[in-house]
């Protein structure tokens, strides 16, 4: 992607970029719908990345091109917010300017192999790589925590997407061979080694009810929290309810709110336990938590979809050590754990791929796309010269 971004810069603007930076997409291994409830998540940076090549430009202006359409856009960055993807770049530029770390104007070329809108967080890969590149161009020092903050505010406040800090944090702090246990309430992180073979199946479906249901779930969690606070006034987040007191929680809540809260509280415990298991190399036990997470998403949180359940079932039947939906649900992707790295999972992997493809083809007349997931590094500066 580095070569593509530099070549695109050259084609669109002439000459070489001043700086080049890149940031990865991500997949969340465990911790579904825990982020906005103040719980932990376990994302892993993947090898697909977005690369941004930048050079100086006319003060007050940004000239932008993405390899996706190759069209050069010219926008004033302190004027009316534009539509479309350039908002993300304008948002980053404004957030950098607010802390005195922005160039006055810039030219910028984007190349990426992170699928856009596919739940692998192409948006954070874009904002983080852009923030890194623009700050470098301005000669500003941007420590990791500030890089996360700039990219997050660009998406949340400037673009207006109601998102947590997971995507930007992993895009910055990702580490090759590791996932990251991120406690969303405090921002604390711990690198967790991943010695496992993982597959990601993309069902390609995005159910219409997704966005509405997401907002409904958030409201339900707030309502459950309000009720629990009558008994526990100091409870700051739903995820803060201790898992060992789930019987009390069952008594205090009923119906839908009870189901939602049960998912959040058990998923919080599973995510922390899963991180511990992974770090001790107990991959098979980790897989059982993936299965439990999926069942909890399906039954308690009701955020699965028939396509996801079918892939999960087929993968498990074919020998996967665990499988679950990832990326909020109602469509999107399934993560399947093939086995430990050391176990030479080659034939099992073939069996899982074949079984999932066969079942999906029979039910829906097509095959899902599949990717082997490898934990890659976080945001970094790239070499500017083409060799
Ligand atoms: P996700 O982050 O899951 O991929 P989002 O809806 O959060 O999905 O972000 C996708 C948006 O980010 C796209 O619609 C586009 O505006 C922007 N984007 C991401 N990557 C690129 C890219 N390489 N080129 C142009 N725009 C991009
Ligand atoms: Mg996104």
Name every protein residue with a CB atom under 6 angstroms from any ligand 1 atom: 50, 66, 68, 85, 88, 110, 112, 116-123, 126
| Shortest-distance ligand to the CA of residue 50 | 1
CA nearest 171: which of 45, 11, 354? 45
The pLDDT of residue 170: 97
pLDDT at 387 over 70: no
Cα–Cα nearest to 264, from 100, 41, 53, 112: 41
Centre of ligand 1 from the C-alpha of residue 123, in Å? 4
pLDDT score recorded for residue 345: 64
> How far is Cα of residue 218 from the mean position of the Cα atoms in its chain?
18
Residue closest by Cα to atom 2 of ligand 1: 121
Chain mean pLDDT for the chain: 95
Residue 275 near residue 40, CB atoms below 8 Å: yes
Active site residue 167: yes
Q: Which residue intervals of 191-254 are DSSP H helices?
A: 210-231, 246-252
pLDDT in tens, 239-250: 999 999 999 999
Q: Identify the CA nearest to 377 among candidates 123, 5, 46, 1.
A: 46
Pocket test for ligand 1, best of 71, 90, 117, 214 (most atoms within 8 A of CB): 117
Residues 140-174 have pLDDT tens digits of 999 999 999 999 999 999 888 877 899 999 999 99
Highest mean pLDDT, choosing among 92-101, 203-212, 345-354: 92-101
**Ligand 1, atom 9, residue with closest C-alpha:** 123
Rounded to an integer, the average pLDDT of 66-86 is: 94
Token representation of residue 287: 């897989």
CB 334 within 8 Å of CB 311:
yes
pLDDT for the residue 379? 98
pLDDT the model gives residue 343:
63
For 109, residues 6+ apart whose C-beta sits below 8 A from its C-beta are 5, 6, 8, 9, 12, 13, 17, 52, 53, 54, 64, 65, 66, 67
pLDDT tens digits along 303-358: 999 999 999 999 999 999 999 999 888 999 999 999 998 766 678 999 999 999 99
More confident of the two residues 162 and 97: 97
> Residue 209: what pLDDT?
60
Q: Which of 31-45, 197-211, 286-300, 302-316 has the lowest mean pLDDT?
A: 197-211
pLDDT for 207 equals 72
Query: What confidence score (pLDDT) does residue 215 get?
Result: 87
- Region 231-246 average pLDDT: 97
pLDDT of residue 206: 78
Which tokens in the block code for residue 63? 């000239």
Q: Contact 249/263 with Cβ under 8 angstroms?
A: no
Active-site option among 167, 202, 226, 291: 167
Per-residue pLDDT, 33: 96
Across 157-171, 268-282, 293-307, least confident range: 157-171
Counting atoms of ligand 1 from 1, which one is nearest the CA of 84? 16
Specify the pLDDT at position 249.
Answer: 97
Indicate the pLDDT class of residue 116, thresholds 50, 70 and 90: confident
| Shortest-distance Cα residue to atom 12 of ligand 1 | 123
Residue that has been written with the tokens 């070549």 in this structure: 7
Q: Which ligand is nearest to the CA of 85?
A: 1
């Amino acid at each position: 992607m580095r070569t593509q971004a530099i070549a695109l810069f050259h084609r669109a603007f002439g000459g070489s970029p001043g700086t080049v930076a890149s940031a990865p997409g991500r997949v969340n291994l465990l911790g579904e719908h825990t982020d906005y409830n103040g719980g932990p998540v376990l994302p892993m940076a993947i090898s697909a990345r977005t690369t941004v090549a930048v050079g100086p430009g006319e003060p007050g202006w940004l000239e932008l091109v993405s390899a996706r359409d190759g069209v050069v856009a010219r926008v004033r960055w302190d004027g009316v917010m534009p539509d479309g993807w350039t908002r993300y770049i304008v948002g980053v530029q404004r957030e950098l300017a607010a802390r005195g770390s922005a160039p006055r104007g810039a030219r910028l070329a984007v190349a990426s192999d992170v699928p856009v809108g596919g739940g692998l967080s192409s948006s954070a890969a874009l904002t983080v790589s852009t923030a890194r590149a623009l700050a470098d161009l301005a000669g500003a020092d941007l420590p990791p925590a500030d890089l996360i903050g700039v990219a997050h505010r660009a998406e949340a406040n400037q673009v207006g997407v109601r998102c947590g800090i997971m995507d930007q944090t992993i895009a910055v702090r990702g580490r090759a061979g590791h996932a990251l246990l991120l406690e969303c309430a405090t921002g604390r992180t711990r690198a967790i080694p991943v010695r496992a073979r993982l597959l990601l199946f993309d069902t390609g479906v995005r159910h219409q009810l997704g966005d509405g249901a997401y907002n409904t779930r958030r409201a339900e969690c707030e309502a459950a929290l309000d009720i629990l606070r009558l008994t526990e006034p100091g409870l700051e987040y739903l995820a803060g309810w201790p898992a060992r007191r789930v019987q009390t929680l069952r008594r205090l809540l009923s119906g839908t709110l009870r189901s939602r809260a049960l998912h959040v509280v058990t998923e919080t415990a599973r995510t922390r336990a899963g991180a511990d298991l992974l770090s001790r190399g107990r991959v098979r036990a980790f897989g059982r938590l993936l299965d439990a997470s999926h069942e909890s998403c399906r039954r308690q949180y009701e955020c699965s979809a028939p396509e996801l359940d079918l892939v999960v079932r087929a993968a498990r039947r074919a020998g996967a050590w665990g499988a679950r939906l990832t990326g909020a649900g109602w469509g999107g992707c399934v993560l399947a754990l093939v086995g430990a790295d050391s176990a030479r999972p080659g034939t099992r992997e073939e069996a899982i791929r074949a079984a999932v493809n066969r079942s999906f083809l029979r039910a829906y007349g097509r095959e899902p796309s599949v990717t082997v997931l490898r934990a890659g590094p976080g945001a970094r500066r790239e070499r500017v010269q083409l060799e």
